[in-house]
Structure 1
Amino acid sequence: MRKSTAILSAAVMALATAVSMSPAQAASYDVSASISTSSAQSGDGPYIKGSISPARSKAIKVQRYIGGNWQNIKSATTNGDGKYGTRLSPEYLDGALGSLKFRVVLDSPNTGKSGTVTKTIYGWRHLSDMTASSGDSFRFYDDGVHLTVDGHDADDGWISAIDGVAYTKWNLQEKCIKLTGFAGLDDYTSDTASLAKLYIGLDGTSHDYDRTFSQYETATLDKSLYKTHYLTFKAKRIEIDENAPLGVGYPRVLCSKDLTD
């Protein structure tokens, strides 16, 4: 009798285990993950894709390594072929910049996780928000200065004094890869015959960008900053008796570190 009872108990336990861990409820999967190779920018974010095996339609979680722990940041679902793809827009990254780590795991009760994938995330930063060293004549628009170049208005940026003189240097720590903005003489405070030159220097070289502007002339800036430590803006008027305030509207740099105050 005791033997029969023991056999029955073992059978019940085995059945209970089989029910609680049935393939439909809790299965182990192989998970792959890869991340887009281009440098992700704020506004588009990295794209993570991969698959699970065996191929099924299953719920997954994208996780990011934060403060020593893996934390869920987004949910997705594989298709019937076991494949998935999802973009991590800025709201999923919480404004984080730099080298970030991600992985993909199967949603509970299933098990399985991918290897770690790493991505450098860049974000735009306004130069007017960043610490700089400069000459006495340098000004930012938060001091009430406004720039209009060939009808294009900017209420954020950099501008020289009315005599066209300015010099400003920012320490980018080799963390930024691009500079954008537009440049030219101010429509309203420059004289008709005025001329001024804008220099943009990378690591002390004053001729990485060297252009002379006349009134109502504008240029778009889209410049690579790869491994630049110091970025310098310098303005100089050509005609000594002419007012020539020269500015750069909305100068922004794309960086992997928050260099603002």
Structure 2
Amino acid sequence: MSNPRIVRPYGDTTGDGMVQVSFTLPVAHDKRAEGAAAQLASKMGLDPVMVVHAKQIGTSHTFFVVYGAAKHLVNLDEVQVVERDYPLLTSKEVNDAVKENLGRKLVVVGACIGTDAHTVGIDAICNIKGFAGEKGLEYYRELRVVNLGAQVPVPDLVNRAVDEGADAVLVSQVVTQRDAHLHNTREMSAAFREAFGPQDRPLLIVGGPRFDEMMAGELGVDRIFSRGTTPGDVASYLVHALASDVKEPVG
């Protein structure tokens, strides 16, 4: 009897293992370049392989899309993810919880740190216009939100968190070249470790499309949010974490 917890990719027919992969090679487009793309895909475990698209980029690079059958199986019971371990609250429920548990406004400081100038993520969470049909954190009457914007040096973020009496610090990182998002996050968590005692520091939350949500402890932050996160996700987590004093050791 087949185990439904073991799955393969689906392309044309169930269980055929077909996947589509795209990548760029530093070679001009010709037949040899297409052969190189097919060889790379074969070494990745695809067999058979078809190069279904090739487009030269500039004078010496080519973008490829290849289609092929993967032989690997996935055991769903072995998949590790970060599940939402708190209830998703409405804005009214968030406001009521903050009022009851804190007796004052919850202070959130947000920023893009380092050289990252992409504010679309932090703005989507913080600004009142929000994201995906949800109002941002500025909409919540019991939250006071300070959005510092782009390219904020880590020392400035720490100082502003101190000045504002921040309960939580939200950092968005979109630029990922050479793992810049990881380096910046580690720098930030180390700076907060030096500036605050373990029980005094604000919650440290980072988000961005390339983060692995399993790396929170390794990066020294309390929570990582990846793509698809809405303001309601973040607001509900803030209430949960501050009410239960959920803080991971930084470092």
- TM-score in terms of structure 2 length: 0.27
Pick the structure with more helix per residue: 2
Pick the structure with more strand per residue: 1
- TM-score in terms of structure 1 length: 0.26
Determine which structure has greater relative contact order: mean sequence separation of CA pairs < 8 Å that are 6+ residues apart, divided by chain length: 1
